[in-house]
Each structure stands twice: as C-alpha cells, then as structure tokens.
Structure 1
Amino acid sequence: MALRVIRLVVPAGTAALGAVNGVQKAAIHSSSVRSLRYGWWAYALGERTTPRLSQSSKIITVDGNLASGKGALAQKLADKLGMLYMPEPDTFYMDKMTGEKEPLPVDFNGMCSLEKFYTDPTAADGNSYRLQLWMYVMRLLQYSDAIEHLLTTGQGVVLERSPFSDVVFLEAMFKQGYIRKECVQNYNEIKGISICEFLPPHLVIYVDQPAEEVQKKLKQSSKTYLHHVPLSYLKSIEECYKKTFLPEIRETSELLVYDTAQAQDVERVAEDFEYLKFDKGPWLEQDDVSYHQMRMLVEDKQLVANLTHIPRFLPETTIGAHDFHQKYYTYKSLPGKKYAPGYNSDVGDKYIWLK
C-alpha cells in the first residue's frame, strides 16, 4: 500500500492550532470528545465569518531560496502587522500538532530524513522523494491551520513558504537527477487533487538572493550537512521560483519582490503591504457560505491529510501490508496512543469511565 499518514488520530479544529503554537485556551468541557467545535449547527444558528474579517485579515507567505532571510522577515513582518507568525514546518510538524513532548521516530514522520537528503540526495532507498512528498503534506496541514486561524479569529497569518510554492523543490530535485520522472508524475497527481481545495495566499513576498550568496551562507551554518549543498541545486531552486512559481502565483495573488538588503527594511515592506489593493484572486469571490465550507474542511486535519493519498504503486513510497501493519501497531503501542486523547490510563488520564 502507498505511504500515507499512518498516525490516524490527528487533532481537529482549534486544538490542532493551539498545540502547534503552544497556546492553551480555556474550554467548557475537559473531555476531548465533548470539546465544542465549529460545525453545521453553529452556522445554522447564525455563526458567520465575514463580520470578523478586516483589511489585515490576510494570508501572507514569504518565499525564497535556502538561508535567504525569509524567516527573519516573516517574523518581523507578522509582529509589525499584528499577525500570527507560523515558522516553516519540518518533517516533525505532526508531532507539534499532536503535542508530543519529544519527536517520535521517523517511522511515524514520513520515513524520511532531511539530513540524509543533503548528504546523499541520490540514495537508492527513495529518501529524496519521500521527503519531498512528506513536506508537501506538512505544508498542506500547516496551510490548513493558517486558514482555520484566519477564519476563526480574523487575524492574518504570515508563513514561510506554502504548499503552492513547494513545487520548486520538486522541479529542482528532478533537474538534478535526485528523483525519477514517475515521482514527478505522482507528485503532480497528488497536488492536483489536493491544492484545488485551498485558496492561494493573498500576498506572496519573494526574497531574491543569488544562489552563490546562498551557498556561502550555508557553508557558515552550524548544520554541517548543509555545507556541501551543490550550487547547481540552489540555482535550480532559484530558476524554478522565477520561471515557474512567481509567474503563476501573480495571476491570483499580490506579489512583492525584494533583494536581501531591501527585505531587512520591515517598515518598507509593511508600508508596501498597506498600499496593495488586493483586487484580484479567488478570495474576492468568497461569502459566508463558502467560508463555512472552507472552515469545515480545514478543521478536519485527517480529511486534509487524506486528500494527499492516492493508492498508486511507487517503489519510493510503497510499503508492504506486513510492514504497514507492524508500523501501525507499533505506533498504537506508544504511551497515550492506544485510545483517543484523554482515555489512556498509561499516561495518567483519570476518570476515564466518566467521560
């Protein structure tokens, strides 16, 4: 069977976003099953999204090559505009969603390794494509968190990259010979049936830094596995951004491009944001009905994850039934994983019989 999210218990609704951001919110019910969630009845009883949206209720993504300074810009811009900052997800993003105290083994996090990709990008076990596909899933889950936060609170969100720009890494990998053509076809098929369920960001900010300067920064990184990233790979990412992603995204989203020096001037970026008209894209066509449907989707994280599952045989992402069985029950045997959260006595849950 094809590799998919083995961890079936994914937090739903604002519980997921609270776990990611480390924010605890008061609730009426203590039981996870009884927690109040937005649903059809809330909409039927008058819950509406548009009244809470303002001029700053926007999804902003900051894109750029590796070590281009996009993270610093995204965080400072979020603080300046009063928005929520969501750092770029890693392969253990789901651990943050489920509130794990320590990262779980890679068997439950995509069976891939970022460090292995940079040290051995042509590994025969298919690590490179598993990593790429898993990161797309993580970006999609994070993007659903961002939309959920926007629709629930009205507060804008600033992210580093998005599932829309994730394709630049796929194309760069293929150009460098790290993955096969069949992997590209599989990725495009999965993205085709999943990304269409989400609206693109209101604004994309691209930090333009030459690949040569990026490589110099990577060689100064404390992460030694980044010291030998090929210049050709970095140039491929830059080329894919400029020839593929940016021309496409400017048709539906506002686009601002800065070099690394300009990107350090947060005041200027914030001022440019204020002058944008936001007069194009599918967000203009939304109303309370479509917002309701969108909110129902993004609060169901398992449904979002299922959008990325296509039962296709691909050696890089296919595992046998026995292997899947073993991994699934190994996961269920971990502390607190046998039953739904709040119902596991092995981690100290109490009064289970009253819930």
Structure 2
Amino acid sequence: MLQSRASNLLQRCSKVVTNAGLKEANKIGSIALQSKAGYATLLDTLGDAYQRVKFKVYRDPRHHLDYDKWCKIFVTEGNIGVGKTAFAEEFAKKLDLKFYGNVSTNYDVERDSSKQVTAPKMMEWYTNPKSVLQMSRNLCNDHFCQEPADYVHTCRYQNNKLVMRALQYCDALAYLLWYGRGVTMVRQFYSDDVFAHAIKEMGWMDKRFWDFYILHRDYLDEDLIPPQVVLYLDASPEQCYENVQAGNNEAEKKLPLDFYKRVEDAYRTSYIPEAEERGVNVVELDWNNPRPVMEVIEELDNLPNMLSPTNLWDIDNSQLKRVMRNAMDDCYRCSRYIYCPIEELWSQQWTQLLYETERDNWDSKYPKGYCVGEGDKWIPLKPEHPHNFLRRF
C-alpha cells in the first residue's frame, strides 16, 4: 500500500513535467522523493520492530548476530602482566558489552552463589579454607606461582582451570545467543592450553597428565563454537616480566622470566595458528606501547567485516539453538567431565559426597521467588518452576 502511494506521487510528478514548468516539476518531485524516503524509513522501523519481537518471542539468535556488528565474543589474550583485564574492562564499558574476567578456581561456586538468596553467607562458607570444598580442592594461585614444581598441585590447578574456563565460556556463549548482547572475556577455554603447554615445557608437568589434559580438553570442546574475534596484546616477555615486578602481586613475582618466554612461544606457535585455522579473526595489537582503547575500537569499526571468511558461526539457526541449549544445560555440561587415571590427582570420595549433601540441602538453593525455605508461595503457578528451572548465567 505504501509503495503504491509513492508510485502515484511519482506519476503525478511526471505529468507535471509535461504540463507545467521545470521549476514546479522540481518542487513536486522533491516532495515525492521525501515522501518515498519517509515511507522507506517507516518500513525499516516496522521491520526492526518485527525482528525485535521475533527475537524476544522465538529467541532467534541470527537476528543480532547478523545485524549487530558488536554482537560477538571478543577475547583479550596476551602474556602475564600485559594489561588484559584493564583493557577488556574498558573495552566492555565503551561498547556496553557483558564482561567476564579472568576465571578463578572457584568460578562454579561464585556462579551458583550469584543466583541464591543468601549469596554472601553461601560464599563465605564455600570460600573458607576449612570448608569441605576448599579442603577437597586444595588449590591456590599463589602456591602455583611460588612453587610451580609441586607436581600434584600444579596438575590439579591446571585441570581445575580447564574446567572452570569451559564453564565460563559456556556461560558467555549462552549469554550471547540468549540475550543478543556482545561479550568481552579475559582469556577463555580455547587458550587454556597455552599455559599447559608452557608448564609442560618448563618440566612442571609430565607426559601422563599432558595426555589426559588434551583428551579432557577435546571432550569438553564438543558442541561449542570458538569466539569470533581475539584481540592479542603483543608485548615482549621482558616487558611483561618488568610489569609484574613493578606490580603488587608478590606471588607472581616468583615466576621466572623463562616461563614468560614459554607462554609467548605457545601463543605464537600453537594457539594463534590453530585459532586462525578454526575461523577466528585474530587481531594482533602492538602493546609494547599501549594505545587508547577508543583507538582500537575505531580500527575495528573501520573493518568491513570483523568475521573471518572461514568462521564457524555461519550455521543454521537450529544448530545455533542447539549450541545455546547445551551451553545453558548444567546437567549436560557436567556429563562432559571424564575419568582421571592419574591417582595422585584423585580426591577423597567422602569429601565430594559431603559437599554434594551440603549443596543439595541448602535452604536457599533456588533463586529468589522460587525458594520454599524463604517463605515464597505460589511457586507452581510461576512460569519457571524450580524443579524444571533452567539455570541462567
């Protein structure tokens, strides 16, 4: 209907050209073109509104992925002490993206506690060194930095990092596809083997654990998609070592310079080539002299397309929804963990059972509004009942 009205105006304009002067023709022609532009703008607005409703109702992941240039997973990579966290935080703030910092050994507890009613009380107990969880894990980043040659702790620490990064990356992937909003991360699941490779080259890990680590990583990688863009902050190992020595983290100062060089080699010879083969757009930034974040954003904005020609995101919408469901399903993700054949890394069975018992009997284990222990009522009539509640992220 709108197009027919616009064509009628153009026909009137052509009649004026033959029956009236050139000045009047130009005047009416300009009116017709303005009307046509207004109709086109109205059509675009209605189309955008329709796409937004379609995304909210049907959760169509392709909408934002195709029409929003910044609806992507941006991962900041680089050596220790290069300034990844500060860069990623400012990058996320400038573009209004979801920020995921460097994962900790207790990411799963932090994630679960953020959804509970009594989150501070829960976190205080689970992060207490005397709690069953901490005694069973027995992991510490400072201990790794000060005594990396402790084989049992180093291997347990690296395996925990792999699992926590897989969990965090699934959360970021699900957030991107569910809410249609871009994500910024500091390192991620696919770059965890950089440190595992450096640890192996330093002699802090033997071949038994390396083989198990690679098998576990490949098993966790099923039904995931690598990030679209990786921002690699390239700085010399000597510069990164000096940055750490000038900082306030006394434990990281104990790491030798040779470890920084091994990390740099792992990035250059292993991670970056493999990422580019898998369709990741790796943007290398010279960070020996750091630049303003806005300058980097403008460079990315000037790119015709931030996606690699061989990216793995050009898949069917049903496949994207399948990836989203698997990333959101905690039960599915927990089933991806495999048996560890290395006896030194085993945990006591009674500690795991006690931890699971405490977690299942927690009074406020459900989100606010669905917890019977907190006096919430009319739960079966709410849209998301806790018994079939799909945990958000």
- Residues 165 and 245, structure 1, Cα contact 8 Å, conserved in 2: yes
- Select 1:119's aligned residue among 146, 153, 159: 146
SS of the equivalent of 2:76 reads strand
Distance 1:78 1:354 in 2: 36
User: Secondary structure of 2:345's partner?
Assistant: coil
**Residue ranges of structure 1 left out of the alignment (5+ in a row):** 1-41
Give the TM-score normalised by the residue count of structure 2: 0.71
**1:350 alignment counterpart:** 375
What CA distance in whole angstroms lies between the structure 2 residues aligned with 1:218 and 1:59? 27
Amino acid at match of 2:175: H
Letter aligned with residue 181 of structure 1: K
2:92 maps to: 78
Aligned equivalent of 2:322, options 293, 300, 324: 293
Aligned to 2:340: 312
2:201, 2:340 → 1: CA distance? 23
Moved >3 Å (runs of 4+): 281-284, 333-336, 351-355
Matched, 1:69 2:77: no
Q: CA deviation at 1:224?
A: 1.5
- CA distance 1:80–1:47, shift in 2 (3 Å): closer
Q: Which amino acid aligns with 1:153?
A: Y
**Does residue 324 of the first structure (1) align with residue 353 of the second (2)?**
no
Q: Give the C-alpha shift of residue 305 in structure 1.
A: 3.3
Contact preservation (8 Å) 2:154, 2:204: yes
Q: Indicate if the aligned counterparts of 2:133 and 2:355 stay in contact, CA closer than 8 A.
A: no
Mapping 1:1-355, distance limit 5 Å: 46-53=58-65, 54-99=68-113, 100-101=119-120, 102=123, 104-105=126-127, 108=133, 110-124=137-151, 126-251=152-277, 252-261=279-288, 263-274=290-301, 275-277=303-305, 278-307=307-336, 309-319=337-347, 323-333=348-358, 337=362, 340-341=365-366, 349-350=374-375
Farther off after superposition, 325-334 or 113-122: 325-334
> Larger % of helix: which?
2
**Mean CA deviation greater in 99-108 or 47-56:** 99-108
Moved more, 151-160 or 82-91: 82-91
Counterparts of 1:171 and 1:130, CA distance in 2: 15
Greater length-normalized contact order (CA 8 Å, ≥ 6 residues apart):
1
Q: Aligned residue for 2:32? A: none
Q: Give the match for residue 37 of structure 1.
A: none
Helix, strand or coil: the match of 1:90?
coil
Larger Rg computed on CA atoms: 2
Deviation at 1:80, TM superposition (A): 2.1
TM-score (norm 1): 0.78
Closer, same or farther: CA 335–306 of 1 in aligned 2, 3 Å: closer
Q: Deviations over 1:299-338 (max 9, x none)?
A: 112322331x21232124223xxx2123321452369637
1:351 positional shift: 5.1
Query: What secondary structure sits across from 1:224 in the alignment?
Result: coil
Contact in 2 for aligned 1:117/1:128 (Cα 8 Å): yes
Query: Do the aligned partners of residues 314 and 64 (structure 1) sit closer, same or farther apart at CA in structure 2, a change above 3 Å counting?
Result: same
**Contact map agreement 1:63 1:205 (CA 8 A) in 2:** yes
Instruction: Give the 3-state SS of the residue equivalent to 1:243 in structure 2.
Output: helix
Q: 1:339 to 1:178 in 2, by over 3 A?
A: same
Task: Specify whether residues 276 and 117 from structure 1 end up closer, same or farther in structure 2 by C-alpha distance, changes over 3 A only.
Answer: farther
